[in-house]
A and B are shown apart, each in its own frame.
Chain A
Amino acid sequence: MKPARARSGALLALLLCLAPAAGRGEDAIFVASQEAGAVTRIDADPGTGPVLLGAGPAGLAAAADGTLYLTHPDAAAITAVGPDGRIARRLQFRGQPFGIAVSADGTRLFVGDWQAGTLSRIDAQSGAVEAVAEIGREPAGLVTDVAGRVFAAERGGDSLAILDGVTLELRARLPVGRAPFALALSPDGDRLYVGNVRSNDLTVIDTRLLTVLATVPAGRSPYGIATSRDGGEILVTNQEAGSVSVLDRSLALRGRIPVGRYPEGVAVAGHRAYVANWFSNDVSVIDLDEHREIERRRVPEGPRAVVAVPAPVRAEAAR
């Protein structure tokens, strides 16, 4: 274990979205299609087409160097895709890997096992398991923060677990709404937003005090969350309603934007948000200044997770 390294850096790798970072220029947006078994870059500079990975990728996270990690729950595996868009390696994972997050230094992966109700920390290169903690049932979204903590949505337990990323000891467990799934940190890390799929609401956590600040209504079946770059707006996908709700930081509803069918993951890059529409097999591009969908792009079947990789990160990785 390398506690100092695990605590360093400022990466926030999320299951369904990447918190906006301070990068300027164009971010790269990747979407994972579970049914097609593919990951596709969908921003303005698409490069080559989808990368075929096989066997339904579900969870998606990006490391600081731009490496993507995708979980394959049905194939007991994790794929690493390099910043060049090629499959770098495939790690075996004993169990049903679903949610995934990357340590700040990119050397460790945190992986939730949906069936076993555990959180594992594994070596990002070798896939070797370093530590396993029993957590609540059906771990869904995972997030790491700059303090080296891991937040895990326990969908089957209606709760949120907060663990030490080094020891994997449970620091706190907070009750949230029914069936929490997606998590998103605010850009400065002071708040964690938790989407509760079955109670159709959003729980807001104070990450310093580890208390619940508020629970506010969201749309039907909130499945994905992202914040604007300045943290002033929170986007929540309403899977069953085919829309995205926009809340301001005081948690007032500012708008509702129609998108495709069964939207799930959402990621923000600059003044655009990208929403994966699972049923309609496309991605809605939303203009955040005008709060409207400006484009819809076809992607391989079953898109669920989206991640934004900030441009400066990619520039460094390419050097």
Chain B
Amino acid sequence: MRRFLTMLPLALAATAALAHGPTPQKVEQTVTVAASPAAVWKVLGDFSGIGTWHPDVAGSEGSGGNREGATRKVTLRNGGTLDEGLDEWKAEAMTYSYRMGEPDLKALPVSSYSATVTVVPDGAGAKVSWIGRFYRGDTGNEPPEELSDEAGRRAMNRYFADGLKGLKAKVEGKAAP
């Protein structure tokens, strides 16, 4: 038992915790790309490089590279920003997972999310999946329409679908849609 007494001091920082309600929502989008998985990963795998392929993104600044704990600040064309932290990045498996920091309802009408992108072989090409879990923008029992589960699903699905379309166009060498 002695070893327990020498463990880490507790993190006492009183952070503003993220409010979220009890009903998580799913989002899942996939796309096939006429290129090798490695070619797709080369573009997708750079965590802070989302601005180079996502058509809804105006710019992205990263800090910490592609390691666990890295962050990126993504500015959307609609004016909102997404602060995201990298939780896991596995080049050999061509996948990474990340989480939202503070919510920005202007960027996406959701209060919390985590997501994972993965590249797998698909015939001669590649398939990319982007899945996530989120909570609606207003987690009370009477959310306004624009912050409802439905509004969150619509926005998240569109954001993921737009991104995958842009990724496919970029990797296949076509103009962004």
A residues touching B (Cβ–Cβ < 8 Å)?
34-35, 56, 58, 73-74, 76, 96, 98, 114-115, 137-138, 155-158, 175-179, 199, 203-204, 212-216, 220-221, 239-241, 250-251, 261-262, 278-279, 302, 304
Say whether chain A's binding surface is mostly helix, strand, loop, or mixed: loop
User: At the interface, yes or no: B124 with Cβ under 8 Å from chain A?
Assistant: no
Are A58 and B15 in contact, CB atoms less than 8 angstroms apart? no
- Contact among A137, A177, A220 for B87, CB-based, below 8 A: A220
* Chain B residue nearest to A176 in the complex (CB): B10
Are B17 and A156 in contact, CB atoms less than 8 angstroms apart? yes
User: At the interface, yes or no: B144 with Cβ under 8 Å from chain A?
Assistant: no
Are A138 and B19 in contact, CB atoms less than 8 angstroms apart? yes
CA distance A56 to B136 in the complex (A): 15
* Chain B residue nearest to A196 in the complex (CB): B11
For B97, list chain A residues within 8 Å (CB): 220, 240-241
* With A204-B4, A240-B87, A240-B114 as contacts: A74 and B23 at CB distance below 8 Å: yes
For A158, list chain B residues within 8 Å (CB): 11, 14-15, 17
Bits for B13-30, please: 1 = Cβ < 8 Å to A, else 0: 011011111111010000
- Contact among B23, B87, B133 for A73, CB-based, below 8 A: B23
In the complex, 11 of the A-B residue pairs with CB atoms within 8 angstroms, ordered by the A residue number, are A35-B26, A76-B141, A156-B17, A176-B10, A213-B1, A214-B7, A215-B7, A215-B8, A216-B7, A220-B97, A240-B99
For A304, list chain B residues within 8 Å (CB): 24
CA distance A178 to B10 in the complex (A): 10
Are B139 and A115 in contact, CB atoms less than 8 angstroms apart? yes
Are B114 and A178 in contact, CB atoms less than 8 angstroms apart? no
CA distance A213 to B141 in the complex (A): 38
**20 extra interface residue pairs, beta carbon distance < 8 Å, beyond A199-B11, A213-B5:** A73-B141, A96-B21, A114-B21, A137-B17, A137-B19, A138-B19, A158-B11, A175-B11, A177-B10, A177-B11, A203-B10, A213-B4, A213-B7, A215-B10, A220-B87, A220-B88, A221-B99, A239-B114, A240-B87, A261-B131
CA distance A157 to B18 in the complex (A): 10
For B174, list chain A residues within 8 Å (CB): none
Are B21 and A73 in contact, CB atoms less than 8 angstroms apart? yes
B residues touching A (Cβ–Cβ < 8 Å)?
1, 3-5, 7-8, 10-12, 14-15, 17-24, 26, 87-88, 97, 99, 114, 116, 131, 133, 139-141
For A279, list chain B residues within 8 Å (CB): 26, 131, 133
Q: Tell me, rounded to whole Å, the shortest Cβ–Cβ distance linking B16 to chain A.
A: 9
For B8, list chain A residues within 8 Å (CB): 215
* Chain B residue nearest to A281 in the complex (CB): B26
* Chain A residue nearest to B10 in the complex (CB): A175
* Chain A residue nearest to B25 in the complex (CB): A35
For B23, list chain A residues within 8 Å (CB): 34, 56, 58, 73-74
* With A216-B7, A220-B88 as contacts: A157 and B17 at CB distance below 8 Å: yes
CA distance A56 to B135 in the complex (A): 14
CA distance A58 to B139 in the complex (A): 14
CA distance A279 to B19 in the complex (A): 21
Are A262 and B17 in contact, CB atoms less than 8 angstroms apart? no
CA distance A212 to B5 in the complex (A): 9
CA distance A98 to B135 in the complex (A): 15
* Chain B residue nearest to A96 in the complex (CB): B141
CA distance A114 to B88 in the complex (A): 29
